[in-house]
């Protein structure tokens, strides 16, 4: 029996899985994609109530709790998307952690800090990608967007382990883009300072950073989650773009 037009539309609607999406940049991307008619799977390792509340706010969205640093959780998160919608077209790797450690404080940036940050930011990103790629290939036009940072290419950031982890994400993006085409495109977004709950408990760091960025950035403001979401939406429809790292920093990188 042929599908009705409504059924056909539902079957062709893209599905996006966004890790670390209960707040901040991830939530901003989820809202923007949902507004564009994309079905969204939300995720976080914690903040379950916030994730469920956002899922209830968005049309045809679901929330799956899980830690991307855990290989079993990564597979389960992807499986939940497939079980719910029967397909996966988009993976946004936004889940990330840091420690606020001055760059010159080598003692505090110990092995535990490196392991914690790399387990989520690098290994977690890899585990989500390897779990998702078979389904993204089936989509025929799969897209992966990794959320990086301007600290990946400049001598700044919340800590050296964090900045190095994002440099690894950038190179992972380029390597995978070279291998997964033509069926799957892989790109990254490198935000500058974005106004999110990331700085909770770090009021002094946040205020000094906000003031400096406002005074020294061409667009004279810090970024918002919606600024990053706009870049994500662009990359999803940029059919001839892969292996790119798109900087979203108000022009700070040019001055």
CA atoms within 13 A on the CB side of 225: 18
Average pLDDT, the chain: 92
Is 62 contained in some domain?
yes
pLDDT at residue 209, rounded to an integer:
77
Which CA distances in Å does 148 have to 12, 97, 106, 245?
A: 30, 12, 23, 8
Q: Is the pLDDT of residue 3 over 50?
A: no
Q: Domain for residue 218, yes or no?
A: no
8 in a structural domain: no
Determine, yes or no, domain membership for 237: yes
| Number of structural domains in the chain | 1
Q: How many angstroms separate the CA atoms of 155 and 161, rounded?
A: 12
pLDDT digits 0-9 by tens, 159-206: 999 999 999 999 999 999 999 999 999 999 999 999 887 666 666 666
Q: Would 166 be classed as within a structural domain?
A: yes
Residue of 63, 85, 162, 199 marked active site: 162
Query: What is the widest separation between alpha-carbon atoms in the chain?
Result: 67
Structure tokens at 216: 């020294």
Residue in 70, 164, 45, 186 with CA at minimum distance from that of residue 109? 164
Of 25-29, 152-156, 243-247, the range with the lowest mean pLDDT is: 152-156
Tell me what pLDDT residue 6 has: 35
Give the chain as a 3 state SS string.
CCCCHHHHHHHHCCEEEECCCCCHHHHHHHHHHHHCCCEEEEEECCCHHHHHHHHHHCCCCEEEECCCCCHHHHHHHHHHHHHHHCCCCEEEECCCCCCCCCCCCCCCCCHHHHHHHHHHHHHHHHHHHHHHHHHHHHHCCEEEEEECCHHHCCCCCCCHHHHHHHHHHHHHHHHHHHHHCCCEEEEEEEECCECCHHHCCCHHHHHHHHHHHHHHCCCCCCECHHHHHHHHHHHHHCCCCCCCEEEECCCHHHC
Q: Is 214 part of any domain?
A: no
Q: Is the pTM of this model over 0.95?
A: no
CATH code for position 123:
3.40.50.720
Q: pLDDT class for 1, splitting at 50, 70, 90?
A: very low
pLDDT, tens digit, 9 for 90 and up, residues 94-143: 999 999 999 999 999 999 999 999 999 999 999 999 999 999 999 999 99
The residue whose two tokens read 């403001």 is 221
- Tell me the per-residue pLDDT of 6-63, one tens digit each, with 9 for 90 and over: 333 444 799 999 999 999 999 999 999 999 999 999 999 999 999 999 999 999 999 9
Asked whether residue 157 is domain-assigned, the answer is yes
Q: Is 234 an active-site residue?
A: no
**Inside any domain, residue 52:** yes
Range of the domain at 84: 13-197+225-248
């Amino acid at each position: 029996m042929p599908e009705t037009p409504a059924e056909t539309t539902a079957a062709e609607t893209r599905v996006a899985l966004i890790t670390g999406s209960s707040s901040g940049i991830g939530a901003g991307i989820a809202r923007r994609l949902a507004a564009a008619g994309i079905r969204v799977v939300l995720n976080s390792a914690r903040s379950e109530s916030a994730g469920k509340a956002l899922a209830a706010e968005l049309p045809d969205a679901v929330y799956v709790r899980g830690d991307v640093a855990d290989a079993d959780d990564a597979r389960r998160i992807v499986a939940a998307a497939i079980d719910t919608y029967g397909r996966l077209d988009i993976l946004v790797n936004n889940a990330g952690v840091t420690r606020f450690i001055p760059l010159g404080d080598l003692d505090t940036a110990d092995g535990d800090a490196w392991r914690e940050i790399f387990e989520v930011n690098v290994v977690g990103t890899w585990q989500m990608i390897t779990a998702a790629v078979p389904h993204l290939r089936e989509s025929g036009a799969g897209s992966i967007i990794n959320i990086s940072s301007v600290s990946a290419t400049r001598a700044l950031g919340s800590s050296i382990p964090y900045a190095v982890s994002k440099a690894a994400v950038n190179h992972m993006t380029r390597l995978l883009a070279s291998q997964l085409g033509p069926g799957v495109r892989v790109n990254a977004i490198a935000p500058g300072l974005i106004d999110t709950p990331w700085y909770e408990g770090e009021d002094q760091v946040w205020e000094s950073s906000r003031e400096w960025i406002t005074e020294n950035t061409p667009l004279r403001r810090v970024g918002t989650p919606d600024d990053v979401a706009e870049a994500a939406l662009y990359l999803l429809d940029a059919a001839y773009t892969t292996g790119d790292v798109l900087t979203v920093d108000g022009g700070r990188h040019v001055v």
